[in-house]
Amino acid sequence: MPGPPRQSAAELQRRGSWRAKDRARREPTPTPGRPEQPRELDGDEGAVTFWHWLCDQLDAMGVLSHADAAVMAQYCVLRANWERARRVVLVEGQTVMKRGRFGSEEVLRPEARLLLSAAPILLRYAQALGLTPVSRAKASRLDSPEARGSKARKFFAPRLTPDGSDNVG
């Protein structure tokens, strides 16, 4: 048995755990900021629309990071494909008649299968990006004191001298 899921330093701090300080030293902190739109989204109007919407949402929540660009792009492409499939299903229906050896039969249209198979994947992406209520409750802002790092990390960080070189010997 693996045990309970690992909790972030921010979650431990919020609960008042003594382990929060130790966890904060070891947790990486991504660089906050709006990532550039990946070239893979060029030409896909739906994915680009979702990219801008997603950046705005994550920025407003204070969790937008350059490190999340690839995951965000994958989510946007899948979400755009899901929306296109949903429009087809709304207009043409969920099933299509297919001829077989024993006559015609009604089968799910490929777009309807995409809707069914992509829904759990979209939910996992949404949870990873903090777009669900439960994942938002667990997230911490990148500009929060917990996310900025410990005092020891700041103390031992290399500092630049007036001539532009660092003081690490």
Residue 69 or residue 145, greater confidence: 69
Q: What percent of the chain has pLDDT over 70?
A: 80
Res. 86: pLDDT tops 70: yes
At residue 22, the pLDDT reads 77
The size of the chain, in residues, is: 169
8-61 pLDDT tens trace: 777 777 778 887 777 777 777 788 899 999 999 999 999 999 999 999 999 988
Do 94 and 112 meet the contact criterion of CB atoms below 8 Å apart? yes
Q: What is the pLDDT at residue 140?
A: 64
**Amino acid 16: pLDDT:** 82
Provide the b/e sequence for 127-148 (b: ≥16 CB within 10 Å).
Answer: eebbbeeeeeeebbebeeebbe
Cα 85 to Cα 81: distance, rounded to the nearest angstrom: 6
| pLDDT band at residue 74 under the 50/70/90 scheme | very high
- Whether the predicted pLDDT of 152 surpasses 90: no
Domain spans of the chain, in order of start = 9-152
DSSP states of 69-130 as a string? Answer: HHHHHHHHHHHHHHHHHHHHHHHH-SEEEEEETTEEEEEE-HHHHHHHHHHHHHHHHHHHHT
Tokens of 105: 């039969």
Q: Is 62 helix (H, G, I), strand (E, B) or coil?
A: coil
* Tens digits of residue pLDDT in 127-138: 999 898 888 776
What span, in angstroms and rounded, lies between the C-alpha atoms of 14 and 60?
21
pLDDT at 136: 77
Distance between CA atoms of 36 and 139, rounded to whole angstroms?
23
**pLDDT computed for residue 142 by the predictor:** 61
Other beta carbons within 10 angstroms of residue 96's beta carbon come to: 14
Is the pLDDT at 125 greater than 50? The verdict is yes
- DSSP label at residue 157: S
Specify the higher pLDDT residue, 158 or 16.
16
